[in-house]
Amino acid sequence: MKIAVASGKGGTGKTTVAVNLALSLGNVQLLDCDVEEPDCQHFLDLNLEDVEVVKSFLPVIDAEKCNLCGRCAELCHWNAIVVTPQKATVFPELCHGCGLCARACPQGAISEKGKVIGKIQRGKSGEVEFYQGVLTVGEPLSPPVIRAVKKKAKEDRITIIDAPPGNACPAVATVEETDFCILVTEPTPFGLHDLKFSIRMVNELGVPHAVIVNRAGIGDNRVEDYCEREGIPILMSIPNDRKIAHLYSQGIPFVKKMPEWKDKFVMLYDKIIRIMEEVA
């Protein structure tokens, strides 16, 4: 079972929820797919090791075979190839590595060059098996690294996946093909605004979902009212607690010092199971 933890904006507490849920359940996998700035590692006692280099397709055009027909440029949705009467030129920064140009070239003039765009690291913290992706600095495209991390998920394990913030391609690449998505929000107008976009994303992907309200008490009840109107379950409210914030600032998951919360996260998982049974 794969459970993604996502949010419409950064700073809502995705990593807090993902790490504390993983530690509460035990014997799980935790995948950090926020590959531009993975931070689950800072809350776990880990010795990380590099286990895989992630490469992306990058087209190389053989000038001797190419007849400048322009088919590759015509099909490239990202405008990464430009064909002039003199030559065909590839712009690596725009290429998304889909490989369509190589498949479509009638002359077979396009071959693949592997471009290193990131790496995967592994570690273990107690019963939690941990993987994270690290995007190479300066690389603009994170989804290939995210998908490589997700391939580490084992079918016979509960897998918690910490998603990148927002609702753009990185978040979509993380949440798609998961079994359930926890959407973490905060009870503020800004939090509700971005939560609505996240709800739209998971609905488009067809992923069952529910909400956790973090830092409850700092705003108003508009998030709860919205979820009630839309029939979206609220799994848990985490209060704006000074002790939780202090532990966070020290890199300590609060379930380690506040054991009553471990039971609450186990109950949260039971709620997810019941919701999935209802929608099945």
Please check the confidence at residue 101 and state whether its pLDDT lies above 80: yes
pLDDT band at 181 (very low <50, low <70, confident <90, very high): very high
pLDDT band at 152 (very low <50, low <70, confident <90, very high): very high
Q: The tokens of 184 are what? A: 């973490």
Domain shared by 191 and 72, yes or no: no
151 in the same domain as 38: yes
Residue 92 lies in a domain: yes
Banded model confidence at residue 230, pLDDT cuts 50, 70, 90 = very high
**How much is the average pLDDT of 89-106?**
93
Residue type present at position 94: L
Q: Strand 110-125 relative to strand 128-135: parallel, antiparallel, unpaired?
A: antiparallel
Q: Which of the listed residues 74, 90, 116 is the one where a domain comes to its end?
A: 116
For residue 209, the model assigns a pLDDT of 97
Q: Which of 97, 116, 135 is the last residue of a domain?
A: 116
Helix (H) or strand (E) holding 160: strand 159-162
pLDDT at 175: 98
Confidence of residue 42 (pLDDT cuts 50, 70, 90): very high
CATH of the domain at 103: 3.30.70.20
Q: Is 182 left (phi over 0), alpha (psi -120 to 50) or beta?
A: beta
Band (pLDDT 50/70/90 cuts) for residue 206 is very high
Q: At 198, which CATH number?
A: 3.40.50.300
Torsion of CA 159, 17, 222, 219, to 10 degrees: -170
Does the pLDDT at position 88 exceed 90?
yes
**Residues 4-31: tens digit of each pLDDT:** 999 988 889 999 999 999 999 989 999 9
Split at pLDDT 50, 70, 90, the class of 109 is very high
Considering the domain architecture, whether residues 178 and 230 belong to the same structural domain is answered as yes
Examine residue 180 and state whether it is found in any structural domain, yes or no.
yes
Q: What is the pLDDT of residue 93?
A: 86
pLDDT at site 136:
95
- Sort residue 47 into left (φ over 0), alpha (ψ -120 to 50) or beta: beta
CA distance 262 to 161: 18
**CA torsion sign, 11 to 248 to 152 to 136?**
positive
In a domain, 121, yes or no: no
- Are residues 107 and 209 both part of a single domain? no
The predicted-structure confidence for 188-202, as pLDDT tens digits, reads as follows 999 999 999 999 999
Residues 188 and 94 in one domain: no
Give the per-residue pLDDT at 259.
Answer: 94
Mark 187-208 as b/e (b = at least 16 C-beta within 10 Å). bbeebbebbeebbebbeebebb
114 falls in which pLDDT band (50, 70, 90)? confident
Q: How many domains does the chain have?
A: 2
pLDDT at 140: 86
Q: What is the mean pLDDT of the chain?
A: 95
**Residue 222 above 90 pLDDT?**
yes
Residue among 4, 13, 5 at smallest CA distance from 247:
13
pLDDT at 161 over 90: yes
**Phi then psi for 154, rounded to 5 degrees?**
-100, 140
Q: Report pLDDT for 50.
A: 97
- pLDDT at position 113: 87
Res 280 pLDDT > 80: no
Please give the average per-residue pLDDT across 219-227, as a whole number. 94
Whether 160 has a pLDDT exceeding 90, the answer reads yes
Longest dimension (CA), the chain: 70
DSSP assignment string, 57-108: EEEEE-TTT-----HHHHH-TT--EEE-SS-EEE-TTT-----HHHHH-TT-
Boundaries of domain holding 59: 55-116
Question: Which token pair is 254?
Answer: 């609060």
